[in-house]
Chains A and B, each alone.
Chain A
């Protein structure tokens, strides 16, 4: 009786499979477990993750760590994935000239034009000049309303901008009704004395004057040249419920195109492509280049910095010569990122064009032997480095019921998408492609403007629902779910994630439909593109028609919608494609770890 453990260290997860070899070389699988990879794959800190995964696995079947007589590590593919994002355009407001935002409760309706005046400077106000009153939050709504009511007939106040969320409270106490905008965060930056136009939309509508360049021209008396200049302002205010445009002599909104730079691809063909030509052109260049030796960016441009950052990060971790780190594949994806407009007064954002890039770095052999030696010392068990990752994954994938050779496997992990084609004679053709789960998280994070990567990861993993009352919620597919006991009021009215540990609330105020759309598009852009790219590389004669069976394995194959997306995409190619089910029970995970245990059997025979 021998207890053998297969350990697969991936970019983001470490997996373990435990098997028992009995008399007559019969193999019985006992359990599987997985744990987050500690540190970068292929470094000695991985051992912490390995230990806890092993511990989980032995506990599941009532054994202890000392029962294990053999640990087998995968010869991890020497590729490490990393991601980066760069915006290509930026919007800058010079001299603070607009506020356009959606406070939930502005008050009044219509537009007003006047000179801005702070409530502190009211005594300097002149008669017969229309004024827009600017009020910082230390002034209470009752004081403000009283002051304005008393000034009626003395001064001509036509509208108000408040810092506090009190527009309705002030409005209700006014004798003469005015349009009021509230929740303007950086009120101290609103310039005193400048002419401005404010607009609050009618109920259920968006603003009409300030989102139209000629509307702004009419209100602020602009000439043709100035009107041309305010067009980006009008554009950025479309769909808002309230807005302020301030006329400053030098004020302007500029839409800059950043010097994005060129990407140099050194390969069979050397190609050079501009980052701002977009993802399609970049990917075309990557495939034109053939076998790639290295990819770099133009010095001191966005893209140059991006690539050197990735390489620097890798060399720190691998203690290798910097010249040894080579980027051998990239996946570029077009995206839109809501970026804070510099110079804006209420924290407004503007959707800017951006490109997300996943890069794959080929290193020299990862120091797996070093990990094995350290682990052997710590556990007091024999540890061996065995087998190429793709072959092991293939062996493991074959334990899926209903599979046979020749077989293509698509291993979709966190850092890279790998494909291997296993022929009947045992020949294996494989490839590693940049871009997988982590790029999807990055895309979700940027497109939704999330501060936290962890939230993006969760959005990627779990379906959404909206809590509509204390006793029911609507799922993203339209289904209703009723609860016997009341849902925690903290979730009331919120979009929530349905995780295995219960509901998780999203703090961001985003509509469910928008999140679903962004999530699905990110997955399409990364996984469908990469699946075709990878399979074409390993298919006989690079012809997809020659691939008949594809088994999806790896962490991202566990996703609740990616396998379906791929099945749809492959339907046209007449390929049988589905989520693997390792050992008929593990689902798509644990393929490599299982393969490691199986290959041990093979070696003994």
Chain B
């Protein structure tokens, strides 16, 4: 048996470190596991879609530099739950929290 932690996948390509930190903090505050992977693709939309499909929990985030996209398994590529581009810190924190709330089936922030 392969035991895998049910976690949110974050696929990042040269992500801005501050943004990544805020997103992770948002997830952590909600008490959900997450894993960060480095990727080569250039589009946050594609990364988010891939992450959501790879995550056992169906929730994924793609980050390319300043751009972060949140995806749920079942949505089409590009049809993100939300996208942020050079937003303020609190918004990235909320995006992280929302990715966890998707799993907890709680209303998004």
- Nearest chain B residue, comparing its CB with the CB of A485: B76
Complex CA gap A588/B25 in Å reads 56
Interface check B84, CB cutoff 8 A: no
Asked whether A492 and B29 contact (CB < 8 A) given A470-B75, A486-B75, the answer is no
Interface check B54, CB cutoff 8 A: no
B74 contacts A471, CB within 8 Å? Answer: yes
Complex CA gap A489/B105 in Å reads 11
- Nearest chain B residue, comparing its CB with the CB of A173: B28
7 new A-B contacts at CB < 8 Å, known A168-B29, A489-B82: A104-B106, A166-B29, A468-B105, A470-B72, A492-B108, A493-B107, A493-B108
B107 contacts A489, CB within 8 Å? Answer: no
B30 contacts A105, CB within 8 Å? Answer: yes
Task: Enumerate chain A residues within 8 angstroms of B29, measured Cβ to Cβ.
Answer: 105, 165-169
CB distance from A503 to the nearest CB of B (A): 13
- Nearest chain A residue, comparing its CB with the CB of B81: A489
B28 contacts A489, CB within 8 Å? Answer: no
Complex CA gap A172/B32 in Å reads 12
CB distance from A439 to the nearest CB of B (A): 30
Asked whether A169 and B25 contact (CB < 8 A) given A468-B105, A489-B108, A493-B107, the answer is yes
- Nearest chain A residue, comparing its CB with the CB of B93: A165
Asked whether A141 and B31 contact (CB < 8 A) given A468-B105, A470-B75, the answer is no
Interface check A509, CB cutoff 8 A: yes
CB distance from A396 to the nearest CB of B (A): 45
A470 contacts B106, CB within 8 Å? Answer: no
- Nearest chain B residue, comparing its CB with the CB of A165: B29
- B-facing mask of A67-110, CB < 8 A → 1, else 0? 00000000000000000000000000000000000001100000
A493 contacts B25, CB within 8 Å? Answer: no
Asked whether A493 and B106 contact (CB < 8 A) given A470-B75, A471-B74, the answer is yes
Task: Enumerate chain B residues within 8 angstroms of A377, measured Cβ to Cβ.
Answer: none
Interface check B56, CB cutoff 8 A: no
B28 contacts A168, CB within 8 Å? Answer: yes
Q: How many residues on A have C-beta within 8 angstroms of the other chain's C-beta atoms? A: 20
B105 contacts A105, CB within 8 Å? Answer: no
Interface check A311, CB cutoff 8 A: no
Task: Enumerate chain B residues within 8 angstroms of A105, measured Cβ to Cβ.
Answer: 29-31
Interface residues of B in 59-90 (CB under 8 A from A): 72, 74-75, 79, 81-82
Interface check B15, CB cutoff 8 A: no
- B-facing mask of A469-508, CB < 8 A → 1, else 0? 1110000000000000010011011100000000000000
Interface check B57, CB cutoff 8 A: no
- A-facing mask of B83-109, CB < 8 A → 1, else 0? 000000000000000000110011110
Complex CA gap A167/B28 in Å reads 10
Complex CA gap A313/B97 in Å reads 48
CB distance from B84 to the nearest CB of A (A): 14
Complex CA gap A469/B107 in Å reads 11
CB distance from B80 to the nearest CB of A (A): 8
CB distance from A122 to the nearest CB of B (A): 24
Task: Enumerate chain A residues within 8 angstroms of B30, measured Cβ to Cβ.
Answer: 105, 168
Complex CA gap A166/B31 in Å reads 11
- Nearest chain A residue, comparing its CB with the CB of B21: A142
- B-facing mask of A222-237, CB < 8 A → 1, else 0? 0000000000000000
Task: Enumerate chain B residues within 8 angstroms of A494, measured Cβ to Cβ.
Answer: 107
Task: Enumerate chain B residues within 8 angstroms of A471, measured Cβ to Cβ.
Answer: 74
Complex CA gap A168/B108 in Å reads 18
Complex CA gap A492/B107 in Å reads 6
CB distance from A511 to the nearest CB of B (A): 12
A470 contacts B108, CB within 8 Å? Answer: no
Complex CA gap A329/B82 in Å reads 53
Complex CA gap A165/B98 in Å reads 14
A141 contacts B108, CB within 8 Å? Answer: no
Complex CA gap A469/B28 in Å reads 23
- A-facing mask of B25-69, CB < 8 A → 1, else 0? 100111100000000000000000000000000000000000000
What are 11 A-B residue pairs whose CB atoms fall within 8 Å in the complex?
A: A166-B25, A168-B30, A169-B25, A169-B28, A470-B72, A489-B81, A489-B82, A492-B107, A493-B102, A493-B105, A493-B108
CB distance from B92 to the nearest CB of A (A): 14
A509 contacts B25, CB within 8 Å? Answer: no
Task: Enumerate chain B residues within 8 angstroms of A468, measured Cβ to Cβ.
Answer: 105
Task: Enumerate chain B residues within 8 angstroms of A168, measured Cβ to Cβ.
Answer: 28-31
A172 contacts B28, CB within 8 Å? Answer: yes
- Nearest chain A residue, comparing its CB with the CB of B105: A493
A489 contacts B106, CB within 8 Å? Answer: no
Complex CA gap A22/B55 in Å reads 71
A489 contacts B72, CB within 8 Å? Answer: yes
A489 contacts B101, CB within 8 Å? Answer: no
Asked whether A492 and B25 contact (CB < 8 A) given A168-B31, A486-B74, A509-B107, the answer is no
- B-facing mask of A504-518, CB < 8 A → 1, else 0? 000001000000000
CB distance from B55 to the nearest CB of A (A): 15
Task: Enumerate chain A residues within 8 angstroms of B105, measured Cβ to Cβ.
Answer: 468-469, 492-493
CB distance from A575 to the nearest CB of B (A): 44
Complex CA gap A490/B106 in Å reads 11
Q: Which residue of B25, B31, B75 contacts A489 across the interface (Cβ within 8 Å)?
A: B75
B31 contacts A490, CB within 8 Å? Answer: no
Interface residues of A in 436-484 (CB under 8 A from B): 468-471
- Nearest chain A residue, comparing its CB with the CB of B82: A489
- Nearest chain A residue, comparing its CB with the CB of B106: A493
Task: Enumerate chain B residues within 8 angstroms of A172, measured Cβ to Cβ.
Answer: 28
